Amino acid sequence: MAAARLYQRKWAFIKFPIAIAAVALMAWLWRVWLPMPPSEITMSAGRADGVYYAYAKRYAEQFAQQGISLRVLESEGSVQNLQRLYGESSPQADLAFIQGGIGYPPIERESSSRLLTLAKVDIEPVWIFSRHAYVDSIQQLQGLRVSLGPAGSGTRQLGVALLEQVRLLPRDIIDSELAGVAAVEALKQGTLDVMLMVSAPESSVVKTLLTMPSMHMVQLRRTAALTERLPYLQTRLLVQGALDGVSVPARDLPVLTTSASLVGRSDMHPALQRLATHVANTVHARGGVFHAPGEFPSLKRVEFPASEEARRTLIHGLPWLEARLPFWWAQVVIRLVVICLPVALLALWLARMLPAYLRWVLESRVARWYGELKYIEHDLSREDLSGLDLTHFLGRLNSIEQHMAAFVTPPYLMPRWFTLRQHIDFVRMRLLRRRGR
């Protein structure tokens, strides 16, 4: 009997296969349904002498403390960063700093990969420095030697957008792609008239230009019209002494500003999205020249869809395990609890229930034979039995014995099996005596 053979070899045919299947299911779920986050990711930051490259290095230090290697890439700016996130430029990136306005209006991409905003992290002023004191509008840049920043930078894209607001094109100025220290030297030597740049106030280039003799910070007129047409721009106040605590700048100045956001690929592992948001909160939580402490990171007025993982992290912090355990240990414990524990409990339940079911099947079979024997004994008490009836009863007893002979009896059922054989012999003797009357 198959059930009896299975029960007798339950370790080989039931429990061991269940254990193997459980381990295989755990491995599959661990690998496919809830994979571990990668141990290395890439971030595209900015120019090596820029503030956001320095921020990215701080990110790398924070990630390294959690066992994640963050590779920081230098770039020409936000446009190149965006291309790397979309996979349109090599090497590709998982995270990047994106200047406000780069995603406005929304850019249609052939790539199915979407981007998610993990956090807006800072305010970036739009600095315009000129060797000429009379410059106070975008129209006056016509014909001047102007640096709009290198190709691939967010500064150039914003500069072109500002020119378009007054119906100018890059060909209407003497366009230059100089940036950073090279642009500062060109201003000093008189080979460049105006430099436009988007950079944090902490930038060494900005501080140099603000303190350079004969260099003027352009105060644009009619900025309200620009902020209305370009909604990613705002006007904020740069208060006197904000940059050195004394006299830089020498008076309160209204400055056009945009924002900087930490953007990631939508297929980035959810745990890494949470970790990146937590790191951003650590790095950018302090106040700045243009914002109060706690204003950033935030997810207000973002250009790319906000990450739900990032939103929960900003509101509630990291999940309980990730907040109390090292990152990798937390991921392992989560999978042990979510995958291994339920599968192990299911396997244990099956390892107990299947043998119990087989045992019930075997005991039911013996109980059924006992039931048939009881009916025969009950019928023997009738006085009107014929010889044909007695022959029929003997045939039923022989059938029970044949089934019992084919029955592979487990050791624990042997006492009942022998008892049943004795009862069969007892009933057979009664039948034979009834026939011999």
pLDDT of residue 244: 66
3-state secondary structure the chain: CHHHHHHHCHHHHHHHHHHHHHHHHHHHHHHHHCCCCCCEEEEECCCCCCHHHHHHHHHHHHHHHCCCEEEEECCCCHHHHHHHHHCCCCCCCCEEEEECCCCCCCCCCCCCCCEEEEEEEEEEEEEEEECCCCCCCCHHHCCCEEECCCCCCHHHHHHHHHHHHCCCCHHHCEEECCCHHHHHHHHHHCCCCEEEEECCCCCHHHHHHHHCCCCEECCCCCHHHHHHHCCCCEEEEECCCCCCCCCCCCCCEEEEEEEEEEEEECCCCHHHHHHHHHHHHHHHCCCCCCCCCCCCCECCCCCCCECHHHHHHHHHCCCHHHHHCCHHHHHHHHHHHHHHHHHHHHHHHHHHHHHHHHHHHHHHHHHHHHHHHHHHHHHHCCCCCCHHHHHHHHHHHHHHHHHHHHCCCCHHHHHHHHHHHHHHHHHHHHHHHHHCC
The pair of three-digit structure tokens given for residue 349, joined into one six-digit string: 């339940």
pLDDT of residue 44: 94
The pair of three-digit structure tokens given for residue 357, joined into one six-digit string: 């079911």
Band the pLDDT of 338: cuts 50, 70, 90: very high
pLDDT surpasses 80 at 202: no
Rg (CA), the chain: 41
Band the pLDDT of 110: cuts 50, 70, 90: very low
pLDDT surpasses 50 at 380: yes
CA distance linking residue 437 with residue 435, whole number of Å: 6
Average pLDDT in the 244-269 region? 83
pLDDT surpasses 80 at 104: no
Residue 54, sorted as left (phi over 0), alpha (psi -120 to 50) or beta, turns out to be alpha
> Whose CA is closest to 97, among 316, 309, 308, 297?
297
pLDDT of residue 207: 81
Give me the residue spans of the domains in the chain.
Answer: 2-23+337-435, 34-318
CB atoms within 10 A of CB 284: 22
Contacts of 141 (CB under 8 A, 6+ apart): 135, 163, 168, 173, 194
Q: Is the dihedral of CA 49, 307, 264, 126 positive or negative?
A: negative
pLDDT of residue 301: 84
Query: Does 52 or 413 have the greater pLDDT score?
Result: 52
Instruction: Specify the residue for token string 């290198």.
Output: 150
At 106, give phi and psi (nearest 5°).
-55, 135
Query: Does 232 or 430 have the greater pLDDT score?
Result: 232
At 428, give phi and psi (nearest 5°).
-60, -40
Asked if residue 51 lies in contact with residue 202, where contact means CB atoms within 8 angstroms, the answer is yes
pLDDT of residue 248: 67
pLDDT of residue 224: 82
Instruction: Specify the residue for token string 């230059």.
Output: 176
Q: Which of 99-103, 105-109, 133-137, 325-329 has the lowest mean pLDDT?
A: 105-109
pLDDT of residue 109: 47
User: Residue 179, Cα to own-chain centre: how many angstroms?
Assistant: 36
CB atoms within 10 A of CB 391: 11
CATH class entry, domain 34-318: alpha beta
> Whose CA is closest to 83, among 109, 104, 61?
109
Percentage of the chain beyond pLDDT 90 is: 34
**Cis previous bond, 91, omega within 30:** yes
pLDDT surpasses 80 at 404: no
pLDDT surpasses 90 at 151: no
